[in-house]
Amino acid sequence: MSWPLVLLVTAPVMAGLGSLLVRQRRAIEVLQCAQAGAILAAAALVAGHVIAAGEVSVGGFLRTDALSAWLDLIIGFVGAIGTLYAVGYVGEEMDRAHLSGRRYSQFFCLFDLYLGAMLLAVNLENIAIMWIAIEGSTLSAALLIGFDRSKAALEAGWKYVILSSVGIALALFGTILVYYSSEHILGVSNEALRWSQLYRVAEELDPAAIKVAFIFSLIGYGTKAGIAPMHTWLPDAHAEAPTPISAMLSANMLTLAVYAILRFKAVTDRTVGPEFAGNLIIGLALLSIAVSATFFLVQKDYKRLFAYSSIEHIGIALLGFGIGGFGVFAGAWHLMNHALAKSTAFYGAGLVFLRYHHKSLDRVTGLLSQMPIAGTAILVAGVALAGLPPFGLFISEVLIAIGAYRAKPEVTYVFLALLALAFVTLLYQVLRMTLGTPGEAGTALGKQCRIFTSAAVGINIVALGTIGLYVPPGLETLLTSIVKIFGGGMETPR
């Protein structure tokens, strides 16, 4: 019973190639919606199987444990909804003749390949092949970021491609080092690269080698995850990419990179104990939160604003993972809620951009009264991202604070202080945008665009609300088994 997994990784690729072949817009739209449905269903089914059976694997090639299933859910859901949004958004661009039919189909081809690469990466068993898939996603993203060929877009794309290529290269060296130290035990073969195998023999691996390997993969994949100080490409890319892509980058790709780091962390923890990797991650995480908190205040561009908030939240999630125990629970939960909230925020931002054709924060006010959908999206997302109930980010942040306080109280003090600062600065900007009286008129959006985008926003907000204060039992099983992957038990007195 493994077809859903196969479907999950193949559907986007097929849809992508398909939209390259069929050139009519309507056909592409249908294809995309079909793909969205397919990955959504497939992701749900895969997760279901994993919840039931613990693991799903196809050949020696694909293997999905709780962590992968978690990522499947995130990427699958956000990807599917993002596809709907993209149909609305890019369609609008085309209606306004900013886009030729050829470029239209190219966009969706790249978009789907990008999605496919990410979905593949999280379900692969072999860490080296996972690297290849991630590199694939990097490259397709590189093309998407520079998609509209403005100077800014090119600059952002260039920076992205250089920095993340370097990062990814470092990550590969990390992988090689793991292989280098594991092949003595598992033999010179694919076995030596399967994480399932690695976990098994991790205790026997050479600590020194694994340490170095972890540092390389932390910095390598960390560059992709936008951890400070490797985050520098992130604001540019998120701001200049077409908004559906910004949403995907922030909600999916960063999460994917975190996933990759986690795979290595799991091995490292088994080999040298959780302290080493934990401390490194905690340090960088706090740095990331600090950086983003300070940059909220000086923002002039609302897409950059949300980009920095991604840095902050990836930092928070990593802090959770770095702490371990139910910190892992919180971190994973944080990733999912962040993905939902952040994509919502970018959906809203995209609509605003379509209307005003500029990204200047100072000139956008009174969204609630002028663009109810976008306004609500940004307000709700802003409240959620600021870490307020009834949204899950509050839950995870408190849990992380708890975990941190248990492990290292001083970390908690710093963490809470930074959170408060980030709260103030982010909310200040978000409220400035949404409340008040509208500034300029802008150009109204087309009907189709409105339908698709508001559907996307609506679904996201509903999802965000439902899992706000309540972890569905299925997801809870996933989370607990994720915690087990990191060797922590869930001692959770209620």
Partner 1 sequence: MLNLFLLLLAGYVAGLLLPLCFPAKPSIQNILAHGFAGLASGAGILLGVTGLLAPEPWTASAQSTVPFLSFAVRLDSLAAFFVLTISLAGLATSIFALGYVTEFYGRVSLGALGSLFNGFLLSMTLVVLADNGFFFLIVWELMSLLSYFLVVTEHEKAEVRYAGLFYFIMTHVGTAFIILAFLIFFQAGGSFSFETFRHPPQPLPEGMRTLAFLMALIGFGTKAGIVPLHVWLPYAHPAAPSHISALMSGVMIKTAIYALIRVYFDFLGGQFPWWWGFVVLLVGATSALLGVMYALMEHDLKRLLAFHSVENIGIILLGIGAGMIFQSYGLKELAALGLLAGLYHTINHAMFKALLFLGAGSLLYATHTRNLEEYGGLLRRMPWTGAFFLIGAVSISALPPTNGFVSEWLVFQSLFLSFQLPTVFLKLMLPIAAAILALTSVLALACFAKAFGISFLALPRSAHARRAEEVPVPMRVGMALLASICVALGVAPMVMVPLLDRVAAPFAGMSIEGKVLAMDGWALAPVNVEFSSLSTPALALLLVALSMLGLGLAVALGGRVKSRRYKTWGCGINLTPRMEYTATGFVQPIKRVFSTIYQPTVKLETEFLEESRYFAKRRHFEFHIEPIFQTYLYDPLVVFFTTMADRLRVIQAGSLHLYLTYIFVTLIVLLLLAV
Partner 2 sequence: MVDLGSALLLLTCFAIVAQRRLSACVDLFALQSVFLALTAALVAFLTGIHHIYIAAALTIVIKAVIIPRILKQVIERLNVKRELQMNVNVPTGLLICGALVILAFFITQPIIPLGFLLTRDSLAIALAIILIGFFTMIARKKAVTQVIGFLVMENGLFLGAAAAAYGMPLIVELGVFFDVLVGALIIGIYSHRLQDAFDSVDTSKLTTLKE
The footprint of partner 2 on residues 172-201 (CB under 8 A) is 172-173, 176-177, 179-181, 183-184, 188-190, 193
Part of the chain binding partner 2 (CB under 8 A), chosen from 20-28, 70-78, 123-131, 358-366: 123-131
The single-letter code of the amino acid at 358 is: H
Dihedral sign, Cα of residue 153, residue 157, residue 159, residue 160 = positive
Q: Which does residue 336 bind out of partner 2, partner 1, none, counting CB within 5 to 8 angstroms by kind? A: none
Shortest distance, CB of residue 316 to partner 2, whole angstroms? 22
Measured from the CB atom, the residue of 47 and 113 that comes closer to partner 1 is 47
Residues 210 to 249 in contact with partner 2, rule: CB under 8 A:
212, 235-236, 239-240
Sole binder of partner 1 in the list 399, 449, 457, 482 (CB under 8 A): 399
Residue 170 near partner 2 by CB under 8 A: yes
As beta bridge partners, residue 63 has 57
* CA contacts within 13 A on the Cβ side of 289: 27
Q: Which does 173 bind (CB under 5 to 8 A by kind): partner 1, partner 2, none?
A: partner 2
Cα dist from 440 to 48, 308, 366, 378, 490, whole Å: 48, 26, 10, 18, 52
CA-CA distance, 481 to 175, in Å (whole number)? 25
Q: Beta strand 56-58 with 62-64: parallel, antiparallel or unpaired?
A: antiparallel
Measured in degrees and rounded to the nearest 5, phi and psi for residue 22 equal -75, 125
d(CA 17, CA 442): 36
Stretch that binds partner 1, among 75-83, 103-111, 122-130, 396-404 (CB under 8 A): 396-404
Q: With CB cut-offs between 5 and 8 Å by kind, which of partner 1, partner 2, none does residue 466 bind?
A: none
Which residues within the stretch 264-303 sit at the binding site for partner 2 (CB under 8 A)? Answer: 295, 298
Nearer to partner 1, 99 or 332 (CB): 332
Between CA 167 and CA 257 the distance in angstroms is 11
Residue (of 461, 342, 329) closest to 396 by Cα position: 329
Q: Which does 492 bind (CB under 5 to 8 A by kind): partner 2, partner 1, none?
A: partner 1
Nearer to partner 2, 117 or 340 (CB): 117
Does residue 158 interact with partner 1 by CB under 8 A?
Answer: yes
Tell me whether residue 435 or residue 455 sits nearer to partner 1 (CB atom).
435
Can residue 414 be called a binding residue for partner 1 (CB under 8 A)? no
338 to 195, 332, 347, 382, 460: CA distances (angstroms): 26, 10, 14, 11, 11
| Residue 426 interacts with which of partner 1, partner 2, none, CB < 5 to 8 Å by class | none
3-class DSSP state for residue 472? coil
Residue 30: contacted member of partner 1, partner 2, none (CB under 5 to 8 Å, by partner type)? none
Cα 21 from Cα 24, distance rounded (Å): 9
State which residue, 151 or 447, has the beta carbon closest to partner 2.
151
417 interacts with partner 1 by CB under 8 A: yes
Q: Which is nearer to partner 1, 39 or 219 (CB)?
A: 219
* Residue with smaller CB distance to partner 2, 334 or 359: 359
371 binds partner 1 (CB under 8 A): no
Q: Work out what residue 206 binds among partner 2, partner 1, none; the CB cut-off runs from 5 to 8 Å by kind.
A: partner 2
- Whole-number Å distance between alpha carbons of 36 and 33: 5
How far apart CA 140 and CA 249 sit, in angstroms, is: 11
Cβ proximity to partner 1: between 59 and 493 the closer is: 493
Tell me the HSE value of 132 on the side-chain side, using a 13 A CA sphere. 6
